[in-house]
Amino acid sequence: MRNVSLPLVGKVETGRLLLWLCYGILAILLVFQAFTHEYVDEHTFMTDAYFVSQGLVPYHDFFEHHPVFFLYLIAPIFSLTGASPAAIIVMRALSIIGVLACAWLVHAIAKRHGLRNPHVASLIFLAGYTGLPVAFVRYDFFAMLFLLLFLYFRGLFLRGFFLTLLASLSPVTFLAAFVVWCYECFNALRTGIGNAAFFIGGSVLASVLWLAVQWKTGFALMYYYVVTFNNLAAPLYAVSWQEVVFFSLFFVLYVVLIGGFLALRRRRTSKDLAVPVLLFAAVFILQILAMNLLAGFGSRLKLPAPIPMMAAFTIFFADIPWRKAVFFIAAQLMLTLFIFTPALSMPILEKVDLSYQLDACVARDASVLYVDGSVWEERGQIMLFRTPAEFYWYGASAAPYLKAANITYAQKPLADKVSVCGVGVSRSDVLCDDAELKDLDNACLSFHTTESIYSRLRRTGCEMTRLCASKV
């Protein structure tokens, strides 16, 4: 008996060592990824969050056309950093913590519901798109977090609370979350009025929180910018079919198909997990397809919108045996490295230093226009934050859409150019001279050296964009 057990113990210990080694490698890679890549709208959302931290009201005091509830969740960061480029370091550090927290939730949910290999789910999550290209600033991350928290908690009050927060984040998540809410409320009511009251009580608390932070915004104005404005301007958001296929279908489709199949197999044994996920995904997918039919192909069918759904389906990969799971983990990791190759220099940290200098080159209340004739010439957008109802968009063929959406159309650039490389929100009152701007711009360009598919298809930052500024 003793001779049989010792090799078994050795195998178990070796397996644990390999498991933690995998987690360690992915965690280290996560750190490099977090300080390597930028993502769409990051600068905009950080600036918005700073304005919110200063008491300014979205849509009223500065232009915005995204849902803004999540801005109030990240605005406290600026109480630590102030109007400083250091905010990007704090944001990315929180991003790492946030992604690891979501990975833990994926593991914990799979384990609680008796799925075979919970570590498979969390490793696939960390190795895949939902883990490494960190997107803490966007509301998509909070949608993923709130959906996972809803699935994690069993108490009806907390389930109602997080499900309502999920619904409040964006029109893209509202309908799917509402359908799940009706399902959960019906089930709670079947078990007793008291249980239904607890569930609805959690929803009421979340609704009060949402109203408290957005009361001054004005619902009619918010609806116009988030729904009407976005639909009018939707053709400008459309991406090429290559981006749709690669950055949506290629990443999403197999996770949805395999995860959906595994969830269907669990609909009886793990009903309170599988059914809400399947309901959410079904409504979410139908809504995304409908939005693309109404707003134009490629305008809504793109990442990171499906991230919450992907994270939920990843849980069910825990039912895959380890031998098969190794293939999926390796495939996700290779895909992530292929698209988001990390830089050992972690250029975001270097750009923070540079942005301190660059911020001194931009007038505090500068008018900002998009002027570069690059591949983004018809989709690049920079807000004129001090004029809430106006929005400058450069590109001749975009003019009909701009007119329909009441966007100020700028045909000619201003004279003084500055780079978009800065990652902070602080601004001084002085513009740099031409020599200083040239030196800083060259320094900015040096950070964009990667030639991954992502960089070629969706490159942002100094290399593809120029801004121009003048004192107001």
The structure tokens 């998540």 sit at 173
Across 4-12, average pLDDT: 59
The pLDDT score that the predictor gives to residue 334 is 85
d(CA 268, CA 34): 39
Instruction: Provide the residue ranges of all domains of the chain, joining segments of one domain with +.
Output: 2-339, 347-470
The pLDDT score that the predictor gives to residue 248 is 67
Number of other residues whose CB lies within 10 A of the CB of residue 206: 20
Higher pLDDT, 371 or 206: 206
**Residue 377: what are its φ and ψ, rounded to 5°?**
-60, -25
Number of other residues whose CB lies within 10 A of the CB of residue 272: 12
Picking from 371, 364, 382, 357, the residue whose alpha carbon sits closest to that of residue 432 is: 357
- pLDDT digit string (tens) for 273-303? 999 999 999 999 898 888 877 776 666 656 6
The pLDDT score that the predictor gives to residue 5 is 54
Picking from 52, 100, 18, 333, the residue whose alpha carbon sits closest to that of residue 213 is: 52
Instruction: State yes or no: pLDDT of 177 exceeds 70.
Output: yes
Tokens of 206: 């979340």
d(CA 347, CA 160): 41
- Of the pLDDT bands very low, low, confident and very high (cuts 50, 70, 90), residue 179 is very high
The pLDDT score that the predictor gives to residue 424 is 42
The separation between CA 250 and the C-alpha centre of its own chain, rounded to angstroms, equals 18
Tokens of 278: 């399947």
* Helix or strand run (H / E) with residue 225: none
Q: Which of 91-100, 358-367, 449-458 has the lowest mean pLDDT?
A: 449-458
The pLDDT score that the predictor gives to residue 214 is 85
State which of 98-102, 125-129, 219-223, 429-433 shows the largest mean pLDDT: 98-102
Across 378-404, average pLDDT: 41
d(CA 464, CA 454): 13
Higher pLDDT, 389 or 198: 198
Instruction: State yes or no: pLDDT of 447 exceeds 90.
Output: no
Across 17-29, average pLDDT: 92
Q: Which of 114-128, 324-338, 378-392 has the lowest mean pLDDT?
A: 378-392
The pLDDT score that the predictor gives to residue 22 is 92
The structure tokens 């994270």 sit at 311
The pLDDT score that the predictor gives to residue 161 is 98
The pLDDT score that the predictor gives to residue 275 is 96
The pLDDT score that the predictor gives to residue 53 is 85
Higher pLDDT, 126 or 48: 126
- Of the pLDDT bands very low, low, confident and very high (cuts 50, 70, 90), residue 147 is very high
The pLDDT score that the predictor gives to residue 463 is 31
Instruction: State yes or no: pLDDT of 451 exceeds 50.
Output: no
SS3 of residue 97 by DSSP: helix
- Fill in the DSSP letter of residue 366: -
Give per-residue burial for 437-462: e unless 16+ CB within 10 Å, then b.
Answer: beebbebbeebbebeeebbeebbbbb
Tokens of 318: 């825990």
The pLDDT score that the predictor gives to residue 232 is 74
d(CA 143, CA 169): 7
- Of the pLDDT bands very low, low, confident and very high (cuts 50, 70, 90), residue 25 is very high
- ∠ CA 195-196-200, nearest 5°, is 120
Picking from 414, 416, 413, 441, the residue whose alpha carbon sits closest to that of residue 362 is: 416
- Of the pLDDT bands very low, low, confident and very high (cuts 50, 70, 90), residue 412 is very low
**How big is the chain, counted in residues?**
472
d(CA 343, CA 160): 42
d(CA 49, CA 241): 32
Instruction: State yes or no: pLDDT of 308 exceeds 50.
Output: yes
Output the pTM of the full model.
0.81
Q: In which region does residue 451 sit, left (phi positive, over 0), alpha (psi from -120 to 50) or beta (all else)? A: alpha
Instruction: State percent of the chain over pLDDT 90.
Output: 33
Instruction: State yes or no: pLDDT of 197 exceeds 70.
Output: yes
Higher pLDDT, 396 or 373: 396
Q: How many helices (H) and strands (E) does the chain have?
A: 22, 5
The pLDDT score that the predictor gives to residue 189 is 95
The pLDDT score that the predictor gives to residue 103 is 95
Question: Would you call the peptide bond into 85 cis, given omega within 30 degrees of 0 as the criterion?
Answer: no
d(CA 168, CA 67): 9
* Helix or strand run (H / E) with residue 431: none
Average pLDDT of the chain?
Answer: 74
**Long-range pairs of 374-382 with CB within 8 A, sequence gap ≥ 24:** 374/464, 374/465, 375/459, 375/464, 376/460, 376/464, 376/465, 378/236, 379/236, 379/237, 380/465, 381/236, 382/467
d(CA 277, CA 243): 27
